[in-house]
Every structure is written in structure tokens, then in C-alpha cells.
């Protein structure tokens, strides 16, 4: 009995699941204290996620950039780096997409691919900058990426303030050209034939009402590629080795500095991919003046922690994360409980994950106690 408990406590998944449960428990307590019925609040939330096909579709669309920013954080974590800079790298991706999507004219299909590559280059360099600052000047990546996040934010606002970039009368740029968009059946579903089809097909038609786009496929492919790269390639192995023990890696002949910069490049490219996909796929196809961070990077950090830095796990935890956030608006509308309860719950979950090293410690003490009795 104790043996199984011990084993369970040592599994990384245990800590994650306990954290999620504690998050919901604290959420329940807060709802109770604030005078709401937690049962009906959570019921409303789940209705807001599952009751209509278009809700589920919207959750998937919202999860798409999160998968990519979470992949960015996870990849960095696997290589021993703490990438708090996904937020800024994401912004670089949106900038690249918005500018190249509007100013460069290319045929469809080629245009989005060109944008994706450029965005990855932009974001990759932004990430590599933090890696370079670390290897060259010993500046910890947490500090440098926090600074770079805000520099990226104001760079975004600065570029929007340049003449001609901002659309007249809007606090945003011009929409990207249609050739650059990755929407699915955008024109068709607005045509007469499309409208008729949507009316006839309750499930698929409902899904088509959302901003369906190809981004989720890009995110899924990225997750699998990153998983394969880390697990089954020599380069990926070298990067993980650097993450786990830089000194041993150096001794084994791995260039630690070069790997650090390259790892930050890839992490930055992934986050920027998230930004580009979001701009190319979702209405309104443009960037806006940002008063503060939108939070895709910070959310990606939480998603990655929830996934235990597992690239494939990021898909699932991003979906859960997006679902909770999306469902919370229904909770607010139907029950009146402020949707920010979700942010508190997410914070609690992240905090508990930070604490999850105590479960193996409990397992240790269990083992010790057993040995004493034996």
C-alpha cells in the first residue's frame, strides 16, 4: 500500500494533477466566500466550453498560439534555460506578420510560408539576443528577457506610430492582404451558397462560424517536430545535455555557449510562430497599439509548467488552459462570478506546481519511516 503511494508520489504527473485539484479547490472557496454557488458557476463554465460546436472550435483556435508559446518555454526549459521572454518573441512574430503581410505582395500559399519563415527569423533573433547576452556577458536570461519583453512591446507601439503604418482612425495597423491569410473557407462561408450550407449543417456550420484557420495544424506539427528533435536527434540530445549538466557537456566536447544561443533562437522562433499564426488566422488580421502585454507568453509559461515541459503535453494543457479562460466568460455572463477567478486559479495551480518538489520529499520520508519499521 505504502509502496504504491510512494511510487505515485514520485511520478511528475501526480504533482500536476494535485496542483490542478488544489487550483479548483481554492477557486471553489473564493466563489463560496464571494457568495456564489460554485456548482452552478462551474456548470456555466463547462456549458460555455462544450455546449456548442462553435465553442469547442473557438477553444481550439484560442489554444493555438498558446501551444506555440508553451513549446517555446518548454524547449528552453529542456535545454536548461528559463524563457520568460516568450511574450516579447511573440510580439516580434506578430510584427513580422503584420508588416510582411501588408507590405510584401506574394501569391497565396507562398505568402503565408514566407511570413512564417520571416517571423521565426525575427523572433529567433530576439530570443538569441538573450542567449548571447547570457553567454557573452553572463546576464541571466530571466532578467534580460523581462527587459526584452517590454522593449518589444514599445517597439510594437513605436512602429505603429510611424507615418503610414497605423490605419486612419484606428489604434491598429492595416489588415494583412488576403493572400497572406490562413483562414479556412473565409470567402465561401460568406457567399450565398456558403450561408445556405451553414444553415443546413448544424454542427459543421456552427464550427464554420468561428475564425477557423490552419494555425492549429502548424502548432501540432511544431509540437511533434520539437518532441522528435529533442528525443531522437543528436543535436537535440546535445542541447538536453547542456540543460542538465553544462560542465559535463563541456567536458564531453559540446560547445555549451553555441548551444545556448541556438536553443534560445529556436525558443524565440517558436513563440514568434505563435504570434504570426495568430495574426494570419484570426480576425482582425492586424496588430494594435498595446497598452500592456496581452499575456500569450506568460500564459505559455503556465501551460508549459502544467505540461511538465513535455512538448506533446503542451497541446493538452494549452487546450485545457484555453478552455478554462474561454468558459470563464460564460460563467461571468450566466452566474455573475467575475471571470478573473480563472486567473487566480491559474496562479494557484502554477504556485502549486512550483511546490511540487515536495511530493518526492514526502515519498522519501514515507520510505524512511517504512525502513525504520522493517
Cis peptide before 284 (omega within 30 of 0): yes
Which of 3, 21, 82, 258 binds other proteins (CB under 8 A)? It is: 82
Question: Is-contact 79 249, C-beta < 8 A?
Answer: no
Residues 275-294 that bind other proteins (CB under 8 A): 291-292
- Cα angle 21, 22, 23; round to 5: 90
Half-sphere exposure of 192 (CA within 13 A, CB side): 0
- Cell numbers at 365, concatenated: 520520508
Residue span 2-41 as binding mask against other proteins, x where in contact by CB under 8 A, dash where not: ----------------------------x---x-------
Which of 81, 148, 207, 276 binds other proteins (CB under 8 A)? It is: 148
φ, ψ dihedrals at 183, nearest 5°: -65, 155
Does the protein bind other proteins through residue 343 (CB under 8 A)?
yes
Which of 84, 95, 97, 314 binds other proteins (CB under 8 A)? It is: 84
Residues 43-72 that bind other proteins (CB under 8 A): none
Give least dist CB 156 to other proteins, A. Answer: 9
Please tell me the count of residues contacting other proteins according to CB under 8 A. Answer: 45
Does the protein bind other proteins through residue 354 (CB under 8 A)?
yes
Does the protein bind other proteins through residue 107 (CB under 8 A)?
no
Which of 1, 4, 107, 137 binds other proteins (CB under 8 A)? It is: 137
Report d(CA 183, CA 212) in Å as an integer: 6
Direct distance between the N- and C-terminal alpha carbons of the chain, in angstroms, rounded to an integer: 15
Nearest residue to 112 (alpha-carbon basis) of 36, 207, 240, 214: 214
Which of 259, 350, 359, 363 binds other proteins (CB under 8 A)? It is: 350
Query: In this structure, how many other beta carbons lie within 10 angstroms of the beta carbon of residue 243?
Result: 21
Which of 207, 271, 353, 363 binds other proteins (CB under 8 A)? It is: 353
Query: In this structure, how many other beta carbons lie within 10 angstroms of the beta carbon of residue 288?
Result: 17
Does the protein bind other proteins through residue 142 (CB under 8 A)?
yes
Residues 194-223 that bind other proteins (CB under 8 A): none
**Which stretches of the chain are DSSP H helices?**
2-10, 12-33, 38-50, 53-78, 86-103, 110-137, 141-161, 192-200, 202-208, 215-232, 234-244, 246-251, 256-281, 296-306, 311-335, 341-354, 358-373
Q: Which stretch binds other proteins (CB under 8 A): 152-160, 220-228, 245-253, 273-281?
A: 152-160
Q: Which stretch binds other proteins (CB under 8 A): 55-63, 244-252, 269-277, 296-304?
A: 296-304
Which of 155, 177, 220, 320 binds other proteins (CB under 8 A)? It is: 155
Q: Which stretch binds other proteins (CB under 8 A): 139-147, 178-186, 187-195, 364-372?
A: 139-147
Report d(CA 257, CA 250) in Å as an integer: 9
Instruction: For CA atoms 109, 111, 117, 122, give the dihedral sign.
Output: negative
Which of 39, 108, 202, 347 binds other proteins (CB under 8 A)? It is: 347
Does the protein bind other proteins through residue 133 (CB under 8 A)?
yes
Which of 72, 144, 249, 282 binds other proteins (CB under 8 A)? It is: 144
Report d(CA 162, CA 173) in Å as an integer: 10
Point out which residues bind other proteins (CB under 8 A): 30, 34, 82, 84, 133, 136-139, 142-144, 146-148, 150-151, 154-155, 157-158, 161, 291-292, 298, 301-302, 305, 336, 338, 340-344, 346-348, 350-351, 353-355, 357-358
Amino acid at each position: 500500500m505504502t509502496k504504491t503511494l510512494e511510487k505515485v508520489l514520485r511520478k511528475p504527473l501526480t504533482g500536476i494533477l494535485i496542483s490542478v485539484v488544489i487550483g479548483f479547490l481554492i477557486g471553489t472557496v473564493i466563489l463560496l466566500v464571494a457568495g456564489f454557488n460554485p456548482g452552478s458557476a462551474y456548470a456555466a463554465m463547462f456549458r460555455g466550453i462544450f455546449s456548442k460546436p462553435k465553442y469547442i472550435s473557438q477553444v481550439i483556435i484560442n489554444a493555438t498560439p498558446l501551444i506555440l508559446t508553451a513549446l517555446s518555454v518548454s524547449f528552453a526549459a529542456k535545454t536548461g534555460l528559463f524563457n520568460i521572454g516568450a511574450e516579447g518573441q511573440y510580439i516580434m512574430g506578430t510584427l513580422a506578420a503584420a508588416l510582411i503581410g501588408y507590405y510584401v505582395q506574394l501569391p497565396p500559399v507562398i505568402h503565408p510560408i514566407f511570413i512564417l519563415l520571416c517571423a521565426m527569423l525575427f523572433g529567433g533573433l530576439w530570443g538569441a539576443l538573450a542567449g548571447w547576452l547570457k553567454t557573452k556577458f553572463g546576464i541571466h536570461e530571466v532578467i534580460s528577457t523581462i527587459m526584452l519583453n517590454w522593449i518589444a512591446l514599445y517597439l510594437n507601439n513605436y512602429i505603429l506610430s510611424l507615418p503610414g503604418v497605423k490605419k486612419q482612425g484606428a489604434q491598429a495597423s492595416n489588415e494583412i492582404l488576403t493572400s497572406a491569410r490562413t483562414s479556412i473557407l473565409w470567402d465561401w462561408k460568406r457567399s450565398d451558397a456558403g450561408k445556405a450550407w451553414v444553415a443546413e449543417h448544424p454542427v459543421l456550420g456552427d464550427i464554420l462560424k468561428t475564425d477557423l484557420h490552419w494555425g492549429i495544424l502548424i502548432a501540432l506539427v511544431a509540437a511533434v517536430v520539437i518532441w522528435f528533435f529533442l528525443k531522437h536527434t543528436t543535436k537535440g540530445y546535445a542541447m538536453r545535455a547542456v540543460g542538465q549538466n553544462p560542465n559535463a557537456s563541456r567536458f564531453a566536447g559540446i560547445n555549451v555557449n553555441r548551444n545556448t544561443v541556438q536553443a534560445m533562437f529556436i525558443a524565440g522562433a517558436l513563440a514568434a510562430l505563435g504570434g504570426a499564426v495568430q495574426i494570419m488566422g484570426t480576425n482582425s488580421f492586424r496588430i494594435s497599439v498595446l497598452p500592456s502585454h496581452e499575456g500569450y507568453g506568460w500564459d505559455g509559461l503556465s501551460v508549459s509548467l502544467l505540461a511538465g515541459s513535455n512538448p506533446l503535453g503542451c497541446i493538452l494543457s494549452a487546450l485545457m488552459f484555453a478552455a478554462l479562460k474561454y468558459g470563464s466568460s460564460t460563467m461571468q455572463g450566466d452566474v455573475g462570478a467575475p471571470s478573473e477567478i480563472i486567473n487566480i486559479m491559474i496562479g494557484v495551480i502554477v504556485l502549486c506546481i512550483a511546490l511540487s518538489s515536495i511530493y518526492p520529499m514526502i515519498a522519501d520520508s514515507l520510505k524512511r519511516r517504512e525502513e525504520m519499521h522493517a
